[in-house]
Every structure is written in C-alpha cells, then in structure tokens.
Structure 1
C-alpha cells in the first residue's frame, strides 16, 4: 500500500520521513493525472503546488491554523492531504468534490469563493479577529503571482503593512506562489519585478550576527549598524527589487524553490516563528512533473477537459460559442481599425487569441483586473476607439461600479462581451453567470443583447460595436451552440420564431433559452394551446412592439438563464405594468440561490428550466382556467418549488 492510501489527514504527514515524503509527492502527481484525465479539472496549477502543499500542512496545524487559497483552483493537493482523495472519482460532478475549497466538504476549507485576488483580504480579517480574541492561531494565504495583478490584493497589502508599521503583530503568512502565469504568462510590471527577485534568503541571520557584535563594541553600537544595514539594503535593491514588499514594511523570505519540500518547510517555519505578517516567495512551475502539461504552450494544462493520461491529448470538444466570437472579432478587426480588445488575464478562454494574433497592437491583457479593464476601456473610447472587453459573465460583477460610473455615466461606446453566461455548472456557485442581466438592468443607457444562436451572435456583436454613444453588452453561454434558428417573421426589432394556433401564450425566449421556448411551444400546441414565440434579441431596452404583442395574448411566459429576481422577465413585467397591460406574466429563470456544481443540463433540470417543466407549468395554469374572467391576474414568478 502506498503512502497516499494510508493518508487520513495532515497529522499523518508529520510521521513520514524525507524519503517517504518524496515518494508521496510522486504518488500525488500520478493520482492527479489519473483522476483529472477522466473528469477534467484544474491540473496544471495543482501539479505545481504538491511540495508546497505538503510543506504547508507539515508546518501549520490545519484546521486550527487557517489556510486560505486565492482563486482556489490550486487546492486539489490540499483536499488530498486533508483526507478527501476518495472523492476525486466524481470531481466537479453532482454529489462529488467541488473543484474549489468547500466549507460543506471539510473543516479544513474556509473560503470557497473562486474569484481571484481576495485571499489577502480574507486573511487580514481572520488574523485581526484572532488577535483581538487572543487566540494563538496562524493564518496562511496562498496567492499566485497572477492574482497579485488584481488591485484588491494590493489594497489588502497596503492595509496589512499599515497595521504592521503601527506595531500590531498578527500571525499572518502570505505565500506568493510565483509560477509566472495566471492562465497564461502573467502580464505587467509586477510580473517583471517578481521574475527578477532572486535574493539570498540567508542574509538576515548574517545581519543579526553583525548587529550583536557591533552593539558590543564601545562607541559603535546601533548607529553604525543602521548605516551598514542601509548600505546592505541599497546593494540588495540594486541587485534585485526585493524592496517591492519590504518597502511596505513587510518581512520577506525567499525566493524559495517551491519544489524543494525541505526548503519550503524551512522558509515557512522561519515565517511562522516571526510572529507578524511575512511574505514567503515560492518559485514553482505550473504543470511540474507531467511532461504534457509542462510542454503545453497555451496554459500548462490549466483546466483541461478529459484527456489521455499517457499522451496528454485532450478529448475533442467540438466548436463552442467562444469560437464563433473569436472568428467574428478577427473579421471585425479587419474591417474597423478603431476596434480594440481588452481581456483580464484570459486571452484564450474568452476567445480573443485570434484577434491578438492578427492585431497585437490593438489587444490589451490587463491581468486579473476587471475594474481597470472597464475604466481603461472608457478612456480608450474617449480617445476615439471602440473597445471590446471580453470577460466571463460572473467576473463582470467585480467591475459594476466602473460600468455604471466610468463607462455609462460618460456615455462611452464600450462593448462588453460576456462568455459563460447563465448556468455553467462544473465550477460551482461562483462561476455561474446568472447575475449580469439583473445588475445591468439598473445602468442608464446600457443596451444588452442575448443571441440565441451563432448567426445572431455575429449579427448582434456587430450591432453592439456600431453603438458609439453608450455601453453595450453581448452575452452567450458555455458549451456548444445550437444550430441556427431562423425567424418566421419579425415584430419591430424582435424575431418571431413560431406562430401556432390562437394567441393564448406569448413565449419570450431570451438568448440561449430561445430554443427551449420553441420546444415548449411544440408541447403546448399538442395540448391545444396557441403559442407565439419571440426572441427579443435586445432585452435592454425591450422593443416597444412587445407591449402591444403582450396585450394581445392571454398569458406572457418569459424564459431566461438568469436569476429570476431583477432579470429580463422582471423588467418586462415592470414595463407592462407601466403601460397598463394586465396580461398575466410568468417568470421562468434561475432561483436566487447559490447552485452546487453539476453538469449544466442537470442544473437546468433541477431548477425547472427544461421544455417539459415549463410546458407542464403553463398547461396546468390553463387547465385551472387562467385567462377566464374570474382568473387571478396578478403576475408571479414560478419555478418547480412553487408546486411543492
């Protein structure tokens, strides 16, 4: 039996000898490759932190000492070391392990938000709380150099350093996992500075010896030591910009080879003994120990789907929504030299790599800094260009104030393209893009488009980029797009996708749910219920034609892959109320709850966003007499729980 099979928790690590720990590291890498090759997941980041994670759990006493992982996609090894290896057969699947830390899984996990650059703020608060409560507990934040490109991390560092200078010593250790990459190579001046940090970690003991001896010499003492220390610091800063952290007043240890477990343990032990905030700079390699990952130029197997463990060849995924956007951006860039592109450390995942290859001078990767991306885009627009900012839908939440006050207030022509909108599934609660259409409803002047198929994505993207006096948004989901759904007619700017029988139900299918609405119509027609299906294309603002159309039907049903509160259905309901249209409105969207990880289709089924569930709901209401003179006319949101 290997060491991994006998591992039940961090305490077991302290019983192993050096040779056994090296064997365990090899076993963990083999285990990760075998498991992730079947399920998909974040492989490269975890292969790079095996020795670092073992050292962390040998030096610190989790869960009494708290370990906070920034972003969290490098926590697989932590899960293994805390007794969860058995759960990897169902990694990121319903009922299985989350791909990120999870409070529901283990007391060793405390922060499960997988948005980047947050760990230092969490750790600062935890360390302050333990200091105030008089608890002798350490807090360790593990943050990658990519996450340090986010402004929130530096806000935290500024506050941590300010408290240090004020004399408040807290037991806080910040491990900078420096692999030179986020998804792809880390961008910016910080990355360049970290690359140059190569100082001797043994200079501090030497200075201590010098200080003790000088203080013992009559007439010399502290003044001469201070002068020598200043000279030493000047020489050190001239050779490498270690002062990046030390000038803030933060103790610095490193750089340390993050794949040398013994060296990592020594550095972490030194940091632990110091008693106040310390930065430990660990140099690692993403994908370390697995040749296909190390040689993968794009992202070192950051988050592959299922693949062949021997060759590293991924299972073909087929064409996805992102590919359609990628191709169209290249075409638009060729036609309009004023179009520029911005991404936040996700060039390939959001489909801007094609644009970047063709037009590198018009492509800007700002690092994990969505706020800066939005306001920088406003500046580009003010300068006469049209920026396209491509993000995951869930990450736009982080830049809401900038969209509102920096872009919209100034009527800047900026187009935000939101990939992975709606239910994304595998990555869990923090990655579902179910908030954007709700939060953006309150932004004055902003226009929001939701394409139903590839043809509409190309069409609406061009319409959005043609708007130069207001922000525009185009959103699309994760995965493979459907075949194009051609309209059978138009009403105003809306597409009519089906007209069947009497005008009983007006089905409004928003974006990717338009195909679902068409299937619902088929089921309702089979029950003798007349249906009109429309795709509004632009859901903010709605075309005025929808008001008259709603008044001609007995019921309006809105189907969207957004949170039901404040979304497209709620917006239409408000519009009809303002126009004194009394037609009952039923809302079918995502309930306002944090959704557990599972496949997208499984989640849609659970929340009732399937053709069967929606058709059943409408049929039941008609069977109960909706539309008759005595029927209840007040609109009410609906999802399956309402019938429980």
Structure 2
C-alpha cells in the first residue's frame, strides 16, 4: 500500500471527513489506480466501480457509516466503499477463493448493510431497514444507491411507489450513467436523459423555493398554496413529473464527479423530510480511457493488460474454446434465418447471452426489455399467443426471479416459448448470488414443460431445433464455459427423453450418469479407473423432461452399480428421482448419487468449486474406489458368515 499513501492511512471512512479537497481528489486517483490494477489481475466489475469513486467519497464525507446505512443496488459498484471501510489491505483478494466478495456481504464487514448481487432490490431493502430503525426510535439515515438500469426492474418501481406512500425520509441516489451493462432501454431511460438535459424547471424551482423561504412569518402558511402553483407551472414548463408524482422530492441532476458539489447537495438532502431522489450524473469507466470508450465490455471483465485494455495472452488461464454461449448464439441465428417468426428476447444481457449477432442481423425481431426478467417471460408469452416463436435468453440465477411467470403465464396455458438458461451449474467468481444450481430443483416438476441439457455444439443445435418444433414450453440449460467436443456420440440424433452413452468399455459393471457440465470430469475419471483395472461406462443425459423412465431403467439394469453425478443441488435433484425409480421397481442395483451440497457457495473459480463440491475427476475416482473396497469387504464378510471364504474367491 506504499504506492497509495492516503488510502494506506484510512482504516475507517470517518477519517476522510478531515481531508482537504485536494487530498480527496488525490485519494480518488489512488482508488482508481488500485481498482484498475486489481481487476486487471483478478477480473471483476470495472467500469461500474470507476464511475462512482467521487460519489462514494462524498457519501462517506457527509454521512457516518455504519450508523448511516448505505445499500448498494446490485453491488457491482461497491469497490470504493470496500476500500474505505477497512478492507484495503485485503483488496487484492477480491473475487478470489477465501478472499473478499465482489459484492456487499453483511458477514464480511459491518459497513455492508445488505447482501446484494441482483438488480432492483435496494430501495425495497432500504425502506425496510429505515422503517425498522424508526420503529426503534433510531435517527440515522438510510441511503440507497441504484443505477439507472436497475430502474427498469419492476421491484424498484414497486418500492418507489410504496416509499412515496409511507413518506419515510429515505434517500434514493440515482446513479445515472446511461448504462446498465449495455445501453439502457425503455421509457425511463429516455425520461432520465431528458431530465439531465433540461434545466428550466430546476431553475424555476430554485427561485421559488428561495423566495418562499425568505418570506417572514407567512412562509409556512403559503407553502401549500405555492406547492400547487409549482405543480401547475411545472406542468407547463416541464411536464415530466414521475418522481414527484410518486411522492419524492427530486434533487438534481448533479455532477457525479465533483466531490464538492456532491457533498454540498448531500448536506442539504440530510435535512429534507420525506423521501428524496437525488439524481447524479456519472461516467461509467471514469478515469480509464479503455473503459470509458467501451463501458459495456468493461462492465464485467476477466484479467487484461492495463496499457492496451486487451486480454493479455500471458494472463489467460484457459485455452481458446467454443463456449456454450457462442454455440447458442450461432444456433439461434441459424434457426432465425429459416423462420421469420422467431424472435429473441433478453433482459439487459444481449452480449452475455450471445444474442448480439442476432440483434445485428434481425434488429426488428430482437427485444432487450431491460432488467425485467418477469416482464421478459410474460412478454414472450404474449408473442407466442400472437403466433411468433419467442426465444428468451436469461442466466440461470436470474430465472429465479421469474418462476411465477413461467408457471402462470407460460406453462399453464402451454405456450410454445423457448427459454435458454446460460450459466447453469457452478459459476464461480461472483459468488453466492450468481450460482446456477437451483434451476433443476425449481423447474423439473412443472407440468407440460420440457427441459433439456445440451453440452456440445451439435447438441445445442439439435436441442434448439427440437424446442422450436415443440408446441409447448421448453427450457434449455447449459453451463458457463466450453462445449463438450469429444466422441461421435454427440452427433447422434436427439431422441425425446433419452441420452447417449459417450464412453463404453468391455465388461463394465459400473455406469456413471452425467447431468450438466460435468461430463468431462466423468469421462476423465473413467479413463483413470480403467488404468486401475475398473471399467466404467459413461452416460450423458440430454433430457431432464421428458424422461424415458423405461429406457433409463433398462439401461441401468445392465450394470451392478450406478453413480449419478449432477451439476445442481443433490437434494431434490434428478439423482433423487432416479433413486425413486429404482426403488419403485425393486431394483437390486447399487445406486449412488452425487451433486452440489445444499449450501450457498462463495466466490471461487469454477474449477475450485467443482473440487470443493467433490465433483471433480479425482473425487469421482476416489468415490468409485471406495465403493469397490466396500463391496469387496462386504463380500468377504458374507463369505466368512457362510464358511466359504478363500483368498482365491475375491
């Protein structure tokens, strides 16, 4: 920390209150430098964090955390907050296994008030915290920092509405950088742009407020009348009244990179009664030219070279491979060229879901609904009713936000909507809030819903083609990372309810079944076991629903032992369903089930998480060997009991 002399001396945010303006801007430069340096090595959310450095400094200069409580919506802009709250010495560990989380975490630091990771939740949480504090007669302030992109989420609008109803003194700071991950879409984004560019109403309001405040004695009695007058004139001068109509006092827009102006406005806001919305204008990626020029690419990045902003070959930790995301993007484009009724929908993740090529090729058939997953699904349902073929691309972790819409608006009426879930299974890096381990448990038992799990490029093509031909809702799940490319079995035609044997050996008595992105681990384990004299076959499940139970049972009956491994929660997953199938049919097969433990898994690489969950090839080999040793031991015990034991019998 020697290269950051001011930051090195800060162990508590109150220490910045005595810094001069010059020292604060020097501190801002230090903070940007350490963020860029660390993210270039670890990966992380760069542009969003660089945009709020001055805002965070101003917040901590005016307010006193943790008595005053900051709640960061999503949380991917909390790095400066972490650096100022006693975590600078550990900042190099951010997003690493055993290190700091890339998001706010209550059990990490008392200055982190609320765990966040998904968008549009901060205002609801902040209002709850504030209401609870007031019921306990606490006089602190609660401030919610939310991005303009998050306002496209329905929960944020619900919370604004209820805050206006309760009239609690909640402070909502709108960080307006005209970006979420990609360019913002929708009426609210356009509205905020007009607010930022129009000064007529703001000037009018300042003059009137100043005049009223200086009227002796009669000022208060005139307020109600003047308020009506202001509303009327405002409707003529400037008709946009969203926040004031919701019951907020609107302040701004304010330059989000001027610490002095921010601090002055925040001091003023501290004394306002009732809810306040402070509109702050920032530049995403501020202070790093590559991020300012391409904030979308630098929203969430892997390791990169600081000088060029490019991924440095020496920093790559994986070979160049075809990702499942890219395979999906190509498959969608191929199908769309054959059928002009195919439309694609995403929730502010056009790039992350691989839909940019579709957007460029078919702009009129592409819809980015913003951070609004529930709306995305019901919107898709409406498109299906009209006769279109909607494909919705959403990360597995964000599909959790739209369970009701999937059941109520799509599954019950049986509408032919195709939902493609990227990042299913163990994701890593972003921690608990981004793991895609719940989708099998959540969706496998929804009536009328088909559920596929392709891994190769060819399987992705076949799965999407099959889904579009189906006249009912279909889910397709696939992991983050590379496609599986070994073996001719991946090119075998898709048969509803059935998978494929991808690895077969003579005289195998053990069958290993894979579901999800762990097929490579099982195939590698089978090779290791073969060298140890244990022959195993490997079966890859392509379908979760429909499931050809008879075909699967007939297959398993050819083996003495079956080991099922799924990249999803073991409790309530497909492994338990297959166990029930064997039990119902009074099978004598020895069956074992492995999956992700029922835990919230913190940040780590995908490989580290697979190992942590004992789902890697070495753990699978050890499990099979343990099973074999237990079987041999039981065999000896039985022989001894029956007086038939001999070393030659084993």
TM-score, normalised to structure 1, is 0.92
409-418 or 616-625, which deviates more: 616-625
Contact between 2:254 and 2:279, CA under 8 Å: does it hold in 1? Answer: yes
Aligned position for 1:522: 527
3-state SS in 2 of match to 1:121: helix
Comparing 449-458 with 492-501, which one deviates more in the overlay? 492-501
Higher deviation after alignment, 603-612 or 575-584: 575-584
Q: Which whole-Å deviations, capped at 9, do the CAs of 1:213-265 have from their partners, x for residues lacking one?
A: 66857xx9957x65554343333344445511111111111111111111111
Q: Choose which of 292, 295, 301 in structure 2 pairs with 1:294.
A: 292
Match in the other structure for 2:302: 305
Counterpart pick for 1:346 among 321, 331, 349:
349
**Counterpart in the other structure of 1:37:** 40
- What's the secondary structure of 2:478's corresponding residue? strand
CA distance in 2, matches of 1:546, 1:440: 21
- Give the match's secondary structure for 2:45: coil
**Contact 1:591–1:607 (Cα < 8 Å) also in 2:** yes
Contact 1:196 1:240 in 2 (8 A): no
Q: Distance in 2 between matches of 1:627 and 1:367?
A: 59
The alignment status of 1:119 with 2:122, answered yes or no, reads: yes
Structure-1 separation of matches of 2:581 and 2:632: 22
Question: Is 2:127 the partner of 1:133?
Answer: no
Distance 1:337 1:273 in 2: 57
Comparing 58-67 and 487-496, the one that deviates more: 487-496
Aligned to 2:278, the other structure's residue is in SS state: strand
| C-alpha spacing 1:496/1:57, structure 2 compared with 1 (3 Å) | same
Looking at structure 1, the residues matched to 53 and 227 of structure 2 have their Cα atoms a distance apart, in angstroms, of: 36
Unpaired stretches in structure 1, ≥5 consecutive residues: 165-169, 633-644
2:103–2:117 contact (8 Å) kept in structure 1:
yes
Task: Single out whichever of 312-321 and 206-215 deviates more from structure 2.
Answer: 206-215
In structure 2, the gaps of 5 or more residues are: 639-650
Q: Please state if 1:52 is matched with 2:58.
A: no
Task: Please identify, of 321-330 and 203-212, the stretch whose mean Cα deviation from structure 2 is larger.
Answer: 203-212
In the alignment, which residue of structure 2 is the partner of 1:444? 447
Match of 1:207 in 2: 208
Measured after TM superposition, the shift of residue 332 of structure 1 is 1.1
Alignment of 1:503-518 (within 5 A): 503-518=508-523
Give the Cα separation in 2 of the matches to 1:314 and 1:418. 26
The question of 1:375 aligning with 2:378 is answered yes
Summarize the alignment of residues 564-583 of structure 1 with structure 2, pairs less than 5 Å apart: 564-583=570-589
Give, in whole Å, the separation in 2 of the partners of 1:479 and 1:94.
19
Give how far 1:97 is off.
1.6
Deviates more, 1:132-141 or 1:540-549: 540-549
1:455 CA drift (Å) = 2.1
Distance 1:252 1:178 in 2: 14
Distance 1:32 1:423, change over 3 A: same
Separation (CA, whole Å) in 2 of partners of 1:594 and 1:385: 38
| Aligned residue in 1 for 2:482 | 480
> 1:501: Cα distance to partner?
3.4
Give aligned pairs, total: 622
For each residue in 1:121-142, what CA deviation from the matched residue of structure 2 results, as whole angstroms up to 9, or x when unmatched? Answer: 1101100100101111111110
Aligned-pair distance for 1:208? 4.0
- Please state how far the C-alpha of 1:330 moved relative to its aligned partner: 1.2
- Contact 1:503–1:552, Cα closer than 8 Å, also in 2: no
Aligned pairs for 1:57-72 (under 5 A) are: 57-72=60-75
> Aligned to 1:29, what secondary structure does the other structure show?
helix
The worse-fitting range, judged by mean Cα deviation, of 578-587 and 360-369 is 578-587
Q: Aligned equivalents of 1:631 and 1:242: distance in 2? A: 83
**How does 1:134-173 map onto structure 2 within 5 Å?**
134-164=137-167, 170-173=168-171
Q: How does 1:358-507 map to 2 (within 5 A)?
A: 358-468=361-471, 470-487=472-489, 493-507=498-512
User: 1:261 and 2:253 equivalent?
Assistant: no
Distance in 1, matches of 2:258 and 2:106, equals 30
Indicate yes or no: 2:606 matched with 1:600: yes
CA distance in 2, matches of 1:150, 1:611: 41
Mapped partners of 1:263, 1:124: distance in 2: 26
The alpha-carbon distance between structure 1 residues 143 and 411, as it changes in their structure 2 partners (threshold 3 A), is: same
Q: 1:213 to 1:262 in 2, by over 3 A?
A: closer
- CA distances 1:142-175 after superposition (whole Å, capped 9, x unpaired): 00010110001111111111111xxxxx342111
Question: Is the Cα contact below 8 Å between 1:123 and 1:140 reproduced in 2?
Answer: yes
How far does residue 453 in structure 1 lie from its aligned partner after superposition?
Answer: 2.0
Contact 1:345 1:368 (C-alpha < 8 Å) held by counterparts? yes
Displacement after TM superposition at 1:535 (Å): 1.2
**Alignment CA distance shift 1:420-1:315 (3 Å):** farther
Q: Which stretch of the first structure deviates more once superposed, 486-495 or 560-569? A: 486-495
Cα distance in structure 1, aligned partners of 2:23 and 2:633: 74
Range with bigger deviation, 355-364 or 226-235: 226-235
Q: Deviations over 1:80-133 (max 9, x none)?
A: 111212223222111222111122321111222301111111101100100101
Q: Could you say if the C-alpha distance between residues 34 and 396 of structure 1 is closer, same or farther in structure 2, counting changes exceeding 3 Å?
A: same
Q: CA RMSD in A?
A: 2.4
Give the TM-score of the pair, scaled to structure 2: 0.91
Q: Distance in 2 between matches of 1:247 and 1:355?
A: 39
Instruction: Tell which deviates more after alignment, 330-339 or 518-527.
Output: 518-527
CA pair 508-144 structure 1, distance change in 2 beyond 3 A: same
